[in-house]
């Protein structure tokens, strides 16, 4: 039990349930995306996705088959992660954090959660694409064990093997 938020500390709960991630004395709640989260997710995406989607996260990003989790602090969305679950892989992983919450570990914790979930489910491969000039995301994913496998247009393609 988190002494700050009084919610379960276990970050390996099924995604259907909300769980907490903790940073010293702060608590961030992670849950599935809800309709009411869309405006804040779009706001954060506009801070990051200028090249990828001309500054807008497409409406199709919120729909199945994509899985979408949001990180909230005091009810405000401060980050999100999106991925496509396939038979033996998670692909199209995207993560974004509100610029006011950079460098405190939210993105790292969200990606780590996806890695742990994949391993628990027997998923063998995770992939993402990162813009060449997005040094922060590149450091984040490589720091968690992702490796560059190709360069396509303006993006690096990275993979993580769960084997």
Its domain, for residue 107, covers 19-161
Residue 96's closest CA among 157, 37, 137?
A: 137
Q: Is residue 3 part of a domain?
A: no
C-beta separation of 126 from 139 below 8 A: no
Domain count along the chain = 1
DSSP 8-class letter at 118: H
The total of other beta-carbon atoms located within 10 Å of residue 59's CB is 9
C-beta separation of 62 from 95 below 8 A: no
Q: Is residue 120 part of a domain?
A: yes
pLDDT tens digits for range 99-158: 998 888 899 989 998 898 888 888 889 999 888 888 888 999 999 999 999 988 888 898
Q: Is residue 98 part of a domain?
A: yes
Q: Is residue 2 part of a domain?
A: no
Q: Is residue 79 part of a domain?
A: yes
Cross-strand pairs, 73: 76
How large a percentage of the chain has pLDDT more than 70? 74
Q: What is the pLDDT of residue 98?
A: 93
50 in helix, strand or coil? helix
CATH number for the domain that contains residue 87:
3.40.630.30
List helix spans (H) across the chain: 38-48, 50-53, 106-121, 135-143
pLDDT tens digits for range 42-95: 888 877 655 444 445 556 566 667 888 999 988 899 999 989 888 888 888 989
pLDDT tens digits for range 141-163: 999 999 999 988 888 898 999 76
Q: What is the pLDDT of residue 2?
A: 53
Q: How many CA atoms, within 13 angstroms, populate the side-chain half-sphere of residue 147?
A: 5
Q: Is residue 14 part of a domain?
A: no
CB neighbour list of residue 125: distance below 8 Å, 6 or more residues apart: 88, 89, 90, 159, 160, 161, 162
């Amino acid at each position: 039990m988190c002494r700050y938020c009084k919610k379960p500390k276990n970050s390996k709960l099924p995604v259907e349930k909300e769980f907490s991630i903790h940073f010293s004395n702060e608590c961030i709640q992670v849950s599935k995306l809800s309709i009411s989260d869309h405006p804040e997710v779009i706001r954060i995406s506009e801070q990051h996705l200028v090249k990828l989607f001309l500054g807008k996260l497409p409406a199709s990003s919120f729909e199945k088959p994509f899985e979408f989790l949001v990180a909230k602090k005091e009810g405000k969305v401060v980050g999100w992660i999106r991925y496509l679950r396939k038979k033996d892989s998670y692909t199209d992983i995207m993560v974004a954090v509100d610029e006011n919450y950079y460098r405190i570990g939210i993105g790292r914790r969200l990606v780590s959660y996806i890695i742990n979930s994949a391993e628990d489910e027997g998923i063998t491969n995770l992939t993402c694409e990162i813009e060449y000039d997005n040094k922060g995301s590149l450091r984040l994913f490589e720091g968690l064990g992702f490796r560059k496998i190709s360069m396509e247009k303006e993006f690096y393609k990275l993979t993580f093997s769960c084997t």
